[in-house]
Amino acid sequence: MSKVGLIIKREYLSRVRKRAFIFMTILGPLLFAGLVAAAVFAVSVDSVEHKILIVDDQGIITRYDERIGQYLPTCPDCFPERDGYVYRFSDKALSDSTFINSDYTLMATVLEGVYDHKKAELYYKKVPSSSASNVIEGDLESALERAKVSKSNLDFDTYRTLKVNIQLSKYDIEKGEENAEGKAAVGLIFAVITFFFLFLFGAYVMRGVIEEKTNRIVEVIISSVKPFQLMIGKIIGVGLVAITQVLIWVVFSIIIFSIAGLLFENGAFSSAEAMAEIAEQQGGTANLDFESFLAQNKLTKILLDINWLQLLSMFVLYFVGGYILYSSLFAAIGSVVDSDTDSQQLMMPIMLPLFFAYIVAIMSVDNPEGTAAQIFSIVPFTSPTVMMVRISVGNVPIWELLLSVVLLITTCFFMVWLAAKIYRTGILMYGKRPTYRELWKWLFYKT
Amino acid sequence: MNALEAISIDKRYANHVALHDVNITVPEKSIFGLLGPNGAGKTSLIRIINRITGPDNGEIKFFGDALNPEHVNQIGYLPEERGLYKKMKVGEQALYLAQLKGMSKFDAKVKLNEWFERLEIGDWWNKKVEELSKGMAQKIQFVTTVLHEPRLLILDEPFSGFDPINTAIVRKEILRLRDQGSTIVLSTHNMGSVEEICDSIALINKSRVVLDGSVDEVRRRFNENEFLIRYEGSAVSLANSLWTNFELISNSRDEDEGDNEAIIKLRDERTLNDLLNTLTPNVQILEARPHIASMNDIFIQAVEQSKHTS
Model confidence pLDDT, tens digit, residues A325-372: 999 999 999 999 888 787 888 888 888 999 999 999 988 887 877 888
CA distance B27 to A312: 62
CA distance B160 to B179: 23
Q: Say which DSSP state B81 is in.
A: S
| Pick from A320, A393, A388, A386: nearest CA to A356 | A386
B79 vs A216: CB contact, 8 Å cut-off?
A: yes
Q: Is A441 in the B-facing interface, judged by CB distances under 8 Å?
A: yes
Domain locations in chain B as residue ranges: 2-214, 224-291
pLDDT of residue A311: 84
The Cβ-side half-sphere exposure at A230, using a 13 Å CA radius, reads 27
Question: Over chain A, what is the mean pLDDT?
Answer: 79
Give the CA distances from residue A321 to residues A133, A311, B107, in Å, rounded to whole numbers and listed in that order.
43, 15, 39
Q: What is the pLDDT of residues A256-288, one digit of tens each?
A: 767 766 665 554 444 445 455 555 544 443 333
Average pLDDT over residues A290-313: 63
Assess whether A27 and A70 both reside in one domain. Answer: no
Assess whether A432 and A328 both reside in one domain. Answer: yes
Mind spelling out the 3-state secondary structure of chain A?
CCHHHHHHHHHHHHHHCCHHHHHHHHHHHHHHHHHHHHHHHHHHHHCCCEEEEEECCCCCCEEEECCCCEEEECCHHHCCCECCEEEEEECCCCCHHHHHHCCCCEEEEECCCHHHHCCEEEEECCCCCHHHHHHHHHHHHHHHHHHHHHHCCCCHHHHHHHHHHHHHHHHHHHCHHHHHHHHHHHHHHHHHHHHHHHHHHHHHHHHHHHHHHHHCCHHHHCCCCCHHHHHHHHHHHHHHHHHHHHHHHHHHHHHHHHHHHHHHHHCCCCHHHHHHHHHHHHHHHCCCCCHHHCCHHHHHHHHHHCCHHHHHHHHHHHHHHHHHHHHHHHHHHHHHCCCHHHHHHHHHHHHHHHHHHHHHHHHHCCCCCCHHHHHHCCCCCCHHHHHHHHHHHCCCCHHHHHHHHHHHHHHHHHHHHHHHHHHHHHCCCCCCCCCHHHHHHHCCCCC
pLDDT of residue A291: 40
| Pick from B86, B81, B116, B80: nearest CA to B98 | B116
Which residues fall within 8 angstroms of residue A89, CB to CB, at 6 or more apart? A53, A54, A55, A56, A62, A70, A71, A72, A73
| Pick from B113, B77, B115: nearest CA to B97 | B77
B100 vs A6: CB contact, 8 Å cut-off?
A: yes
CA distance A387 to A361: 8
A225 vs B100: CB contact, 8 Å cut-off?
A: yes
CA distance B248 to B228: 10
The answer as to whether A12 is a domain residue is yes
A219 vs B72: CB contact, 8 Å cut-off?
A: no
Q: What is the pLDDT of residues B83-111, one digit of tens each?
A: 899 989 999 999 999 999 999 999 999 99
The letter for the amino acid at A400 is E
Q: What are phi and psi of A337, to 5 degrees?
A: -110, 165
Q: What is the pLDDT of residues B180-215, one digit of tens each?
A: 999 999 998 888 888 889 999 999 998 999 888 998
B54 vs A446: CB contact, 8 Å cut-off?
A: yes
Q: What is the pLDDT of residues A103-123, one digit of tens each?
A: 888 888 887 777 777 778 888
Inter-axis angle of helices A296-305 and A156-174, to 10 degrees? 80
A219 vs B82: CB contact, 8 Å cut-off?
A: yes
Q: Name which of A10, A212, A447 is nearest B53 (Cβ-Cβ).
A: A447
Q: What is the pLDDT of residues B128-147, one digit of tens each?
A: 999 988 888 889 999 999 99
Assess whether A242 and A288 both reside in one domain. Answer: yes
Assess whether A95 and A223 both reside in one domain. Answer: no
Q: Is B176 in the A-facing interface, judged by CB distances under 8 Å?
A: no
Assess whether A434 and A294 both reside in one domain. Answer: yes
Does residue B267 carry a pLDDT above 50? yes
Cβ-contact B296, B194 below 8 angstroms: no
B54 vs A216: CB contact, 8 Å cut-off?
A: no
Assess whether A277 and A384 both reside in one domain. Answer: yes
Which chain B residues contact residue A10 at CB under 8 A? 96
Q: Is A285 in the B-facing interface, judged by CB distances under 8 Å?
A: no
Q: Say which DSSP state B151 is in.
A: S
B72 vs A428: CB contact, 8 Å cut-off?
A: no
CA distance B284 to B238: 10
Question: Over chain B, what is the mean pLDDT?
Answer: 89
Q: Which fold has domain B224-291?
A: Alpha-Beta Plaits (3.30.70)
Q: Is B85 in the A-facing interface, judged by CB distances under 8 Å?
A: yes
Measure B8 CA to nearest chain A CA, in Å: 18
Q: Name which of B14, B47, B97 is nearest A220 (Cβ-Cβ).
A: B97
B100 vs A219: CB contact, 8 Å cut-off?
A: no
Q: Say which DSSP state B130 is in.
A: G
The CA R_g of chain A, rounded to the nearest whole Å, is: 28
Which chain B residues contact residue A221 at CB under 8 A? 97, 100
Assess whether A273 and A390 both reside in one domain. Answer: yes
CA distance A156 to A146: 7
- Torsion region of B74: left, alpha or beta (phi above 0 gives left; psi -120 to 50 gives alpha): alpha
pLDDT of residue B298: 86
Assess whether A119 and A22 both reside in one domain. Answer: no
Among A69, A94, A128, the domain-final residue is A128
Q: Name which of A211, A219, A447 is nearest B81 (Cβ-Cβ).
A: A219
Measure B167 CA to nearest chain A CA, in Å: 21
Average pLDDT over residues B294-303: 86
Interface test with B, best of A211, A224, A432 (most B CBs within 10 A): A224
pLDDT of residue A172: 42
Measure B200 CA to nearest chain A CA, in Å: 24
Among A70, A103, A128, the domain-final residue is A128
Q: What is the pLDDT of residues A127-179, one digit of tens each?
A: 777 677 778 888 888 888 888 887 777 777 777 666 654 433 334 443 344 56
A371-399 residues labelled b (16+ CB within 10 A) or e (exposed)? eebbebbbbbbbbbbbbbbbbbbbebeee
Give the CA distances from residue A437 to residues A209, A332, A443, B14, B18, in Å, rounded to whole numbers and listed in that order.
22, 15, 10, 12, 21
Q: Could you tell me which residues are beta bridge partners of residue B155?
A: B78, B186
What is the total count of domains within chain A? Answer: 2
Q: Name which of A1, A3, A219 is nearest B79 (Cβ-Cβ).
A: A219
Measure B83 CA to nearest chain A CA, in Å: 5
Q: Is B40 in the A-facing interface, judged by CB distances under 8 Å?
A: no
Which residues fall within 8 angstroms of residue A249, CB to CB, at 6 or more apart? A25, A28, A29
Average pLDDT over residues B156-167: 89
Cβ-contact A175, A295 below 8 angstroms: no
CA distance B181 to B91: 26
Q: Which fold has domain B2-214?
A: Rossmann fold (3.40.50)
CA distance A447 to A440: 15
Q: How many of the other CB atoms lie within 10 Å of CB of A367?
A: 15
Query: Which chain B residue is nearest to residue A5, measuring alpha carbons?
Result: B100
User: Between these two residues, B127 and A282, which has the higher pLDDT value?
Assistant: B127
Q: Is B100 in the A-facing interface, judged by CB distances under 8 Å?
A: yes
Does residue B292 carry a pLDDT above 50? yes
Q: In Å, how far from its chain's centre is CA B108?
A: 29
Interface test with A, best of B100, B128, B132, B152 (most A CBs within 10 A): B100
Q: Say which DSSP state B36 is in.
A: -
Q: What are phi and psi of B16, to 5 degrees?
A: -150, 165
pLDDT of residue A241: 94
Which chain A residues contact residue B130 at CB under 8 A? none
The Cβ-side half-sphere exposure at A216, using a 13 Å CA radius, reads 10
Assess whether A257 and A290 both reside in one domain. Answer: yes
Q: Name which of B54, B77, B84 is nearest A215 (Cβ-Cβ).
A: B84
3-class SS at B271? coil
Q: What is the pLDDT of residues B222-253, one digit of tens each?
A: 777 888 889 888 888 888 888 778 888 888 88
Does residue B4 carry a pLDDT above 90? yes
Average pLDDT over residues B136-161: 92
Sign of CA dihedral B61, B67, B73, B77: positive
For residue A115, give its domain range. Answer: 49-128
Which chain A residues contact residue B85 at CB under 8 A? 14, 211-212, 215, 217
Q: Is B87 in the A-facing interface, judged by CB distances under 8 Å?
A: yes
Query: Which chain B residue is nearest to residue A226, measuring alpha carbons?
Result: B52
Among A111, A128, A145, the domain-final residue is A128
The CA R_g of chain B, rounded to the nearest whole Å, is: 24
Interface of A with B in 217-236 (CB under 8 A): 217, 219-225
Q: Could you tell me which residues are beta bridge partners of residue B59?
A: B7
pLDDT of residue A149: 81
Q: What is the pLDDT of residues A213-261, one digit of tens each?
A: 988 899 999 999 999 999 999 999 999 999 998 888 878 877 876 776 6
Give the CA distances from residue A30 to residues A43, A254, A274, in Å, rounded to whole numbers and listed in that order.
20, 11, 16
Q: Is A410 in the B-facing interface, judged by CB distances under 8 Å?
A: no
Average pLDDT over residues B214-220: 86
Measure A3 CA to nearest chain B CA, in Å: 6
Chain pair A-B, CB pairs under 8 angstroms: 61
pLDDT of residue A269: 44
Mind spelling out the 3-state secondary structure of B169-223?
HHHHHHHHHHHCCCEEEEECCCHHHHHHHCCEEEEEECCEEEEEEEHHHHHHHHC
Q: What are phi and psi of B33, to 5 degrees?
A: -90, 120
- Per-residue confidence at A7, pLDDT binned at 50, 70, 90? very high
The letter for the amino acid at A317 is L
Q: Is A429 in the B-facing interface, judged by CB distances under 8 Å?
A: no
B138-161 residues labelled b (16+ CB within 10 A) or e (exposed)? bbbbbbbbbbbbbbbbbbbbbbeb
Measure B52 CA to nearest chain A CA, in Å: 6
The answer as to whether A152 is a domain residue is no
A438 vs B54: CB contact, 8 Å cut-off?
A: no
Q: Name which of A3, A216, A441 is nearest B82 (Cβ-Cβ).
A: A216
Assess whether A90 and A224 both reside in one domain. Answer: no
The answer as to whether A325 is a domain residue is yes
A223 vs B97: CB contact, 8 Å cut-off?
A: no
Measure B210 CA to nearest chain A CA, in Å: 27
Q: Name which of A3, A224, A447 is nearest B54 (Cβ-Cβ).
A: A447
Which chain A residues contact residue B141 at CB under 8 A? 220
Cβ-contact B141, B94 below 8 angstroms: no
Helices then strands, each counted (H, E), chain B: 10, 14
Measure B102 CA to nearest chain A CA, in Å: 8
Q: Is A13 in the B-facing interface, judged by CB distances under 8 Å?
A: no
Q: Beta strand pairing status for A70-73 and A85-90?
A: unpaired
Assess whether A371 and A422 both reside in one domain. Answer: yes
ipTM above 0.90, yes or no: no
A106-115 residues labelled b (16+ CB within 10 A) or e (exposed)? bbbbbeeebe
CA distance A194 to A384: 7
- Torsion region of A435: left, alpha or beta (phi above 0 gives left; psi -120 to 50 gives alpha): beta
B14 vs A438: CB contact, 8 Å cut-off?
A: yes
Assess whether A117 and A210 both reside in one domain. Answer: no
Interface of B with A in 129-168 (CB under 8 A): 141, 144-145
Measure A31 CA to nearest chain B CA, in Å: 28
